[in-house]
């Protein structure tokens, strides 16, 4: 296992459409990891200086480091089929090429998450030689594994790309843009979730499976988790043990139509963030 820094490296990649949910996610990570040193790597292609500054105000208030990496390379040049997919979908897979070589490991997090417990066990996870770690959203049975193996011709479980631990030294050697673009060109009609399908198609055998109930809990599936655990994983268990809640699918918890089991929790963190932003603005006005 590689030597890890004490500081936890978090990676996020997004455009402005997910900027506000990202801030709620970051607030939840800070609130539930008190005293942890974090370094946020914000990788983007189109955020404005003001938008980056709005994230920096938060990370400064948290006592975190922030590195904003603007990607200027056009990964879609000369590959017409790929232009229909957001550029940001490449950034998590290509983070080894984007981030400084001094960064050896990152935890990638989608912006539609809440972090409700301690992230450090994920940071210190022994990858056992694997390049990546990810969870599988299985359902009550393993049926979807079989469906995706037939669809993609893969031999592994179908991993969700919303939470990843990435060994960047391995990624710098193994993940190549040419492999990604060639795969999309060849299998474009079969791809449903392009970034996730590519992750599984190209790199599935190099992924260590981690618990979805702990590290990538699909908030739509509360009753399924409860059934699968014979009622052990009820709401008290989730709040005490689950670390990352993932608001998969739609409506998202910030949409007025959302009324799910975990919508209120997201809205509460959103309110707390708004109060913090108000205090930060008041402090700036006073100075």
Q: What is the DSSP letter of 175?
A: -
Task: Please indicate, yes or no, if residue 145 is contained in any of the structural domains.
Answer: yes
d(CA 25, CA 19): 10
Predicted local confidence at residue 86, as pLDDT: 67
Among 68-72, 76-80, 135-139, the range scoring the smallest mean pLDDT is 76-80
Tell me the C-alpha distance between 203 and 106, whole Å.
17
pLDDT for 165-176, tens place per residue? 999 999 999 999
- Residue at 206 is within a domain: yes
The answer to whether residue 154 sits within a structural domain is yes
Residue 60: pLDDT band (50, 70, 90) is very high
Q: Which residue has the tokens 């500081």?
A: 7
Measured distance CA(38)–CA(33) in Å, rounded: 9
The pLDDT of residue 145: 52
User: CA 29, CA 144: separation in Å to the nearest integer?
Assistant: 30
In-domain check, residue 234: no
Residue 23: closest CA among 269, 221, 232: 269
Q: With respect to residue 170, please indicate whether it lies within any of the assigned structural domains.
A: yes
Number of structural domains (the chain) is: 1
Indicate if the alpha-carbon torsion angle 184, 111, 67, 52 is positive or negative.
positive
Residue whose token pair is 């957001």: 86
Q: Choose between 142 and 65: higher pLDDT.
A: 65
Hey, what are 86's tokens? 């957001």
pLDDT averaged over every residue in the chain: 89
Query: What are the phi and psi torsion angles at 257 (to 5°)?
Result: -75, -10
Question: What is the DSSP track for 79-102?
Answer: -GGGGGS-THHHHTTTHHHHS-TT
For the chain, how big is the Rg over CA atoms in Å? 19
CATH of the domain at 175: 3.90.550.10
The confidence score (pLDDT) of residue 187 equals 73
pTM above 0.75, yes or no: yes
Q: What's the number of CA atoms in the CB half-sphere (13 Å) around residue 223?
A: 2
Higher pLDDT, 245 or 155: 245
Quote the pLDDT of residue 143. Answer: 46
> What range does the domain containing 13 cover?
8-212
């Amino acid at each position: 296992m590689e030597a890890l820094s004490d500081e936890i490296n978090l990676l996020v990649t997004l455009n402005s459409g997910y900027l506000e949910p990202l801030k709620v996610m970051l607030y939840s990570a800070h609130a539930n990891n008190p005293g942890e040193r974090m370094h946020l790597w914000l990788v983007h292609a189109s955020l404005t200086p003001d938008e980056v500054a709005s994230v920096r105000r938060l990370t400064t208030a948290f006592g975190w480091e922030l590195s904003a990496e603007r990607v200027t390379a056009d990964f879609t040049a000369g590959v017409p089929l790929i232009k229909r997919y957001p550029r940001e979908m490449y950034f998590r897979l290509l983070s080894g090429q984007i981030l400084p070589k001094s960064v050896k490991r990152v935890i990638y997090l989608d912006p539609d998450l809440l972090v409700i417990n301690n992230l450090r066990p994920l940071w210190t996870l022994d990858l056992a030689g694997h390049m990546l770690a990810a969870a599988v959203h299985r359902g009550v049975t393993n049926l979807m594994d079989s469906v995706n193996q037939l669809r993609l011709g893969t031999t592994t479980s179908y991993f969700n790309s919303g939470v990843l631990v990435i060994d960047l030294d391995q990624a710098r050697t193994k993940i190549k843009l040419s492999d990604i673009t060639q795969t999309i060109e060849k299998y474009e009609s079969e791809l449903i979730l392009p970034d996730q399908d590519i992750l599984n198609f190209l790199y599935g055998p190099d992924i260590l499976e981690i618990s979805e109930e702990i590290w990538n809990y699909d908030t739509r599936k509360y009753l399924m988790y409860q059934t699968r655990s014979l009622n052990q994983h009820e709401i008290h268990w989730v709040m005490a043990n689950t670390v990352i809640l993932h608001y998969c699918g739609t409506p998202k918890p910030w949409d007025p139509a959302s009324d799910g089991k975990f919508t209120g929790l997201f809205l509460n963190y959103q309110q707390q963030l708004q109060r913090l932003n108000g205090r930060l603005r008041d402090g700036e006005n006073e100075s």
